[in-house]
Chain A
Amino acid sequence: MHISEYSGKKERTIEYLVKSLPLGKDTFSHGYISLDNIYKSVKILEGFAKKLDEYDLWKSYKALCTSGVREALNKYFFIDYIKNNTGIELEILEPSDEIYLKYLGVKQAIPKISAYEEDGILFTNISSGNIFINILKKDKLMLSEAFPYGNLRLTQIFKDIPYQKQHKAYEQDINKMVLTLKNISVKKISIRHMISSGSSIAVLTDMLKPNKDAIDRKDLESAYSQIKELNFYEITEKFKLREQQVEILIPTLITYLKIMDFAKVKKFLFTRNSFPYSMSLFYSRTIKDADLQNRFKNTLYHIGEKYSYDKNHSKTVTKFALKLFDNLKTIHSLKQKERKLLEAAAVLHDIGYMIEAKNHEQHSFNIIKTIDFPGISKEFIDMTALIVLMHREKQEIYQNAEHDDDNNYLTDKLTGAKNKNQNDYYKKPVLDNQNQSVNNANIFGNRNINKNNNNYHQNYKNNFGYNFGDYYWDSRAIGIVNADNTNNLLSNFSIEKKLIIYKLASILRIADSMDASHSQFIDDFSVIIDSNCIIIKSLAKKYPYLEYLSFYQKSNLFKLTFGVNIEFETDIDFQ
């Protein structure tokens, strides 16, 4: 427990309390926290609660759980029990947030790290349950992984092996981790620096007593070769460590040595700052990660390159999407954060092509879902993935009459109607669609595809009560399953978030359509907002047939979302 006082940006540590209770021992070996340890946790947290009383901090505290609780099957019971008995509300910290906080803590303690991010740096956090590894180079996050190899976890996995042989088991297991690490990281990446944090540091500093905040590989090596020969009690006696420290000593040493091998570094820097201290700084907004957005952006392109994306297309779509976003501010009324969401989705929207063109949006979605970027929330990633999934028109959304209000929100928003009965629900959008198709038909004259579609759609809707939007033919052919899937994915979000996804996906679709040929025929465009129509005037090198077709296929979601017609005009840019 860390209690801080802030005057301005200045942190002053009022108190620091430590009570150790290795919950991970339960979790990593049995999968759940034992009742006995839950009682003990209550006892410890009761003491901490007294501290909250003392300084009147009940409205300004943060209590976070990491792997020991996060991975326990009975974590919700644990959290509930703690709340009922102590009043303390625990929150689970996701692994990427955990490493991000830890990384920020280290950055705050060792400012020169910012410079190292250019040279190549491996940041590791070895805690009881996980090993986090981040590799940064040229201000890009090259790798960010959480490996389930924490020191306490290892001792639990191999606890039945005789003591003298345990270190061999640890070595093998960590070798495997390093192998995985080699496989997933960019080949021939040169790492110049290594930084570490986490509970494992205390064991090393207590044993090695380094003068500076750095540990040399040779010190670790000689300590390891000494310790291998000693038994538990000899280690305790020789290094004056606590029993709990000795338990995790060997896996900790091995882990450090192996990771240093991988990184090819001779020493690593560390900070003695505790995790609660970093938490305090972060949640009080005392440390900010000024470079986060830049790093994230760099990393997005890095990921794109990894999947051999069409860089020009991606850049063009991103440019267009952002321009649309900026010009349509009065209509979508979204903020800077959503702009970043759009940017991320635009950069990555086609990365799934590498796997298969047919379902590339689904592959893009899957790839993006796996991105773990410290400092960027899981929700942000999930939303990005969904926007990308929806960038293709076959991923249409439908409204199901049987669905609850949440799922009907869109119609609700679009019609501004509330407390309508279900029949009313589906009338208006359908009418809107008809109107739209009329408009579309006017523009395209001889292309009656829309009208037909609409008829089909209406029939379909009348028969099944579904609203698939205009491009039923696509949706029907392959898309129903996908649409269902998209809808399910969407249902995880709140109404507000869903609307954001719709808005951004509709903008992305339009931007994407404007480079449908992937040939960058359109250089630039301007946006004119009329009373009930938005006109995009573009300047093209050639007549963009594909772009036109695509625009009318893709703009429908925009209409559905905003209830506003959007039109596309092109001037050919003659030299």
Chain B
Amino acid sequence: MLKVNPNLQKKSSEFLNINSYPFINREISWLYFNERVLSKADSQNVPLLERLKFLSIFSSNLDEFYMIRVAGVKEVIDAGYVSKSIVNEPAPPELLQLINRLAQQLIDKQQNIFLKLVKTFKSKKIVFILTPDEIDSDIIDLAEEIWLQEIMPAISPVIIGPAKPFPFVYNKLVSIFAELHKGGNKYYAIIVLENLKRIYKINYNNTLYIIFAENIILKFINRIFSSYTIQNTNIIRITRNADFDIAEDAEDLLETIEFELSKRKKGDVVRVETNSVLDLNAMSFLKSKLNFSGTDVLNIKYTIDLSCLSELNINRKQFLYKPFKQYFPSDIHLNSSIFKRIKNKDIILYRPYNSFCIISKLVEIASNDINVIAIKMTLYRTNKDSSIIKSLINAAKKGKQVSIIIELKARFDEEKNIEWSKVLEDAGCIVTYGFLELKLHTKNLLIVRKENKKIVRYCHISTGNYNEITANIYTDVDYLTAGEQIGSDISNLFNSLMGYSEFGNYKRITVSPGMIRNRLIELIDGEIINAHKGLNAKIAVKVNALTDKKIILKLYEASRAGVKIIMVIRGICCLVPGIKNISENIIVKSMVGRFLEHPRILYFYAGGEEKTFISTADWMERNMDKRIELLLEIKDADAKEKLMTILDCNMRDNYNSWVLQQERYVKYDRAAARNDKQDELHNKIAEFYLTGINKYSSIDGGIANDRKEAEEKEKTVNYFDCQNKLGEIFKN
């Protein structure tokens, strides 16, 4: 009598034992991902200055990894969980060792690449000064000027003694630790590089010198400790636990987050980087003052914390990526006619190949449009001076109801978001702060317009944030529709996010927590059933991470049933592909390129129906259970085709891609590497597909040549075996 989905019943009977299947540990998998980022810095095909940026991204990624993930592992160990929870995963203490060992290897690799790049730059008249001794007579005068004017007034050296305790060293700050001698006594001194630029640039004699602040200080350190003998100096940097839990009974989320943010700077030490080996005494001194253990120490060969390289800002075009041309559909005009256009037909855009300004302008147009009565928006991460925020404020001032849901918990953007929320509230917007226990990750804009006394809802559903800066770096899908059902769903979603309603009877969208995983499993089950029947069964997935054990087990089940699965997973992947009788039908590849791959696009063959989805959710437990995420099936035929094209391009790419072979990522055969413009080819193909032939034209009218170029290049491409295999999944 009770109607239970037969698939679900089947699932429970065939529930796979988690302990008999292989998994890659997610922390280790993440480190592999960062290795792929790092390898971009070593790629001959990436312009020189961009390669420095990859070094910088590698460093800041690793910082975040330590602050959150390693901190988490350490907390788990401290809490007494020292044995394995799953057979095929390392126990936490073992994992910590593995992480530190692998991180050390990667750091060594990064330093080597850096040194190699420094040598190359030297031939291009860009000189990096890596030690104080390299500050030679050519530039010593200018260095001294910097020392006198910029550095000396800002630093506060401390000689630690009974009257001067060890100062608190904030998270991620570089310090100089020195051993001083005077009258047979030994002293330790510390200089924290606080409120200081890390990199100084000197132009001298047609050469650009780049000097790190610590090297200038070391050059003149004698002047600070003039009455001491300086025995030893080390550069050190500590990283602290920056993850925080919000107490469940927190009354005012805004105040709580402000308080927690101040704590972030003061978390436990999780990593200590030094540029040279500290002697035993110094080490035990530091350990006692900062409370860390020997395993937390990473040795940096040359220069600590290369994340600062992103601030370099050297304008030499030949060493940078060529400016990127963005396209937008020729039938879209950035005035109120855009509403009619959306009503006529859904619009799909692919950032950054399509300009994000269409979305930011849409908000601006809405804010000035007399027929618009309300604008609602989720705000997860946005940029400084965001034109979207300005438009929202303008709209509120014009009497429209503007509702914003700000996710205060967007990691490392909390402070920024608190500022925004205050500005928006002052302007008369209704601002709410999401939920204590759930992070708001869905990215939606809803414009409510009254047209001839009828309500029309315009929805923007995106995989990317409303951030005009990152929109040029991240790839993402933007979807615009005035469809009735989606409009009603998004309306309901906003009502529940604003706390107005508990009603969530969605017709088109699927929302996590709770629902997305079920839906995915249902879709995978559908393929399994078809595979069992001997029908075509295919799944193609593009996500940023795959860690959810339930989904992984379901994918193993699908593979065993004969479902062909290809996954383009940029970052962490805990699934082990290509294992006989477990995952031989699964291919996992990763793309790391000029742009950060960010959209989640899913494809299920569904017996020929070819269901295609966009989503904000990665396939991770946190996205399924602890975040508000959205999954939408795209039914518009043209939009669907474009999404499939993106997947196809992703699968055929061999230039920015690695293939996961069991537990290691393997780059495509170097010998068969394509020419230097391959990176762009990918982009061109994407542009070509996405901008179409007749329907679209580029802003500057240069599409014809670009298209030809793209077409020609496409013809010349020879795919490797592996790629053919990838492509074939879609061919048959």
Contact = CB atoms under 8 A, between A and B. Distances in A.
Interface of A: 1, 5, 7, 12-20, 47-48, 50-51, 53-56, 207-211, 218-219, 222-223
Contact of A5 (B455, B500, B501): B455
B259 interface: no
B307 interface: no
B495 A5 contact: no
A301 B403 CA distance: 58
B448 interface: yes
Contacts of A20: 502
B425 to A, nearest CB: 14
Contacts of B1: 208, 218-219, 222-223
Contacts, number: 64
A19 B453 contact: no
Interface in B488-540: 488, 491-492, 495, 498-503
B3 A211 contact: yes
Contact of A47 (B448, B488, B499): B499
A18 B501 contact: yes
A16 B492 contact: yes
B10 interface: no
Given A7-B453, A20-B502, A50-B403, 17 more contacts: A7-B454, A12-B455, A13-B488, A14-B491, A17-B500, A18-B502, A19-B501, A47-B499, A48-B500, A51-B495, A51-B500, A53-B401, A54-B374, A55-B373, A207-B2, A211-B3, A222-B1
Contacts of B455: 5, 12, 14, 55
B202 interface: no
A18 B430 CA distance: 20
B495 A17 contact: yes
Interface in B76-98: none
B451 to A, nearest CB: 11
A223 B2 CA distance: 8
A56 B455 CA distance: 12
Contact of A54 (B373, B501, B503): B373
A19 B502 CA distance: 5
A15 B454 contact: no
A170 B401 CA distance: 48
Interface string B698-724: 000000000000000000000000000
Given A5-B454, A218-B1, A222-B1, A54 B401 contact: yes
Contacts of B488: 13-15
B500 A47 contact: yes
18 contacts: A5-B455, A7-B454, A12-B454, A12-B455, A13-B488, A14-B488, A16-B492, A17-B501, A18-B502, A19-B502, A47-B501, A50-B401, A51-B495, A54-B401, A207-B2, A208-B2, A219-B2, A222-B1
B202 to A, nearest CB: 58
The 10 A-B residue pairs whose C-beta atoms are closest, nearest first, are: A17-B501, A47-B500, A18-B503, A54-B401, A219-B1, A54-B374, A209-B3, A222-B1, A14-B455, A18-B502
Contact of B495 (A13, A15, A209, A218): A15
Contacts of A207: 2
A278 to B, nearest CB: 17
Interface residues of B, number: 22
Contact of B503 (A7, A17, A208, A222): A17
Contacts of A12: 454-455
Task: Tell me which of B453, B499, B503 has the highest count of chain A C-beta atoms within 10 A of its own C-beta.
Answer: B503
Contacts of A5: 453-455
B428 to A, nearest CB: 12
Nearest to A14: B455
Contacts of A14: 455, 488, 491
A15 B457 CA distance: 11
Interface in B454-506: 454-455, 488, 491-492, 495, 498-503
Interface in B361-386: 373-374
A274 to B, nearest CB: 10
A18 B454 CA distance: 23
Contacts of A56: 373
A216 to B, nearest CB: 8
A219 B3 CA distance: 11
Contacts of B498: 47, 50
Contact of A19 (B454, B491, B500): B500
Contact of B430 (A7, A50, A219): A50
A14 B454 CA distance: 10
A211 B5 CA distance: 12
Interface in B432-465: 448, 453-455
Interface string B141-166: 00000000000000000000000000
A13 B3 CA distance: 29
Contacts of B502: 18-20
A53 B376 CA distance: 14
Contacts of B374: 54
Nearest to A239: B2
A209 B502 CA distance: 20
B456 to A, nearest CB: 10
B488 to A, nearest CB: 7
A209 to B, nearest CB: 5
A223 B1 CA distance: 8
A201 to B, nearest CB: 14
A208 B453 CA distance: 40
Nearest to B400: A54
Contacts of B500: 17, 19, 47-48, 50-51
Task: Name the residue in B2, B3, B373, B500 with the highest tally of chain A Cβ atoms < 10 Å from its Cβ.
Answer: B500
A219 B1 CA distance: 6
A208 B501 CA distance: 24
B503 A16 contact: yes
Contact of B2 (A13, A54, A55, A209): A209
Nearest to B3: A209
A47 B501 CA distance: 8
A16 B448 CA distance: 15
A17 B342 CA distance: 27
A221 to B, nearest CB: 9
Nearest to A13: B488
Contact of B491 (A15, A210, A218): A15
Contacts of B401: 50, 53-54
A208 to B, nearest CB: 7
A15 B503 CA distance: 10
A15 B374 CA distance: 14
Contacts of A17: 495, 500-501, 503
Contacts of A1: 501
A5 B488 CA distance: 13
A207 B2 CA distance: 8
Contacts of A208: 1-3
A324 B500 CA distance: 57
B231 to A, nearest CB: 66
B482 to A, nearest CB: 14
Nearest to A211: B3
Contacts of B501: 1, 16-19, 47
A14 B450 CA distance: 12
Nearest to B499: A47
A20 B454 CA distance: 29
Contacts of A218: 1
Best-buried of A50, A56, A209 by chain B (most CB within 10 Å): A50
